[in-house]
Amino acid sequence: AQQRRKAPGFIQKPQHVTVYEGDTARLECQVSAVPEPQIFWKKDNEMIEFNTDRISMFQDYTGKIGLLIHDVNKKDAGWYTVSALNDAGAETCHARLDVATYINRPAPGSKQLKMRPSLSKYVTLNCQGIDVQDAFLPDTDVYQVASYGGLTESEEL
């Protein structure tokens, strides 16, 4: 008995995905075809190589297929194309992968600063103290400043 042939058709098309750097991206779709189709993935019209630890493809008996990209980085962002091909025909779909950056995530290798409460009205941005005399009155002697009674503290500081 000859098996009926059916060109590939997407039952579920891949969706546009946004993931954060360092996370895992998963592009999924579902295809129906007889006989089972060969699946090809491209990124920005370049064939994807699956021989890396980061990028893999999966396919199950229901026709669900997908692309997994571990430890996503900005270079992974772009247009992805999935093509299903058998001897009855071919079908292609596209999806976009966007890669976002965590705003409050510390950069790799950066040291977390220890913060402690302070009652000071002055803020130091470089984690070092400042010499008030040099910063505000560079040409005066500290004793002259202490004897000058006209200095007042600003509430704006």
Q: Give the three-class secondary structure for 8.
A: strand
Backbone angles phi, psi at 83, to 5 degrees: -125, 135
Q: Give the three-class secondary structure for 28.
A: strand
Torsion angle, alpha carbons of 120, 125, 126, 129, to 10: -20
Confidence (pLDDT) at 25: 97
User: pLDDT by residue (tens digit) across 12-64?
Assistant: 999 999 999 999 999 999 999 999 999 999 999 999 988 678 999 998 888 89
Contact 46, 62 (CB under 8 A): no
For β-strands 55-59 and 64-69, DSSP reports them as: antiparallel
Confidence (pLDDT) at 74: 96
Backbone angles phi, psi at 82, to 5 degrees: -115, 130
Torsion-angle region of residue 151: left (phi > 0), alpha (psi -120 to 50) or beta? beta
For β-strands 89-100 and 17-20, DSSP reports them as: parallel
- Residue 126, classified by CB atoms within 10 Å of its CB into exposed (0-12), middle (13-18) or buried (19+), is exposed
Any idea what DSSP says for residue 22?
Answer: T
Q: Is the pTM of this model over 0.95?
A: no
Give me the mean pLDDT over the 58-72 stretch. 92
